[in-house]
Structure 1
Amino acid sequence: MAGVIETAFIQLKPGYDEDMLRNILKESQRVQARWIREHQPKLLEGKPYSHTTDFWIADGEAPYLFLTAPWESVDDHNEWIQSQENISLMQQLKEFISQDQDAVTLHHLEPAGDNEYRGDVLARGSVKVWRISVKPEEKASLGKDYRLIESQSATLPGQRMWAGWKIEGDDSNLVIIASPGFEDVIESGIAVRLEATKVSRFEHKPFLH
Structure 2
Amino acid sequence: MGVDPGLTRCGFSVVEGTPGRPPDLLAVGVIRTAADLDVPRRLVTLEEELSRLVSRWLPDVLAVERVFAQNNTPTVIGTAQAAGIAMLVGARQAIPVAQHTPSEVKAAITGNGRAGKDQVGHMVARVLRLDAPPKPADAADAVALGICQVWRGQTSNRIEEALRRVERDGGHHGSALARAAELSRRQVERVNAATRRVGRRRP
TM-score interval (norm. to shorter): under 0.3
Q: Between Structure 1 and Structure 2, which shows a larger proportion of strand residues?
A: 1
* TM-score w.r.t. length of structure 1: 0.27
Greater share of helix: 2
TM-score w.r.t. length of structure 2 = 0.27
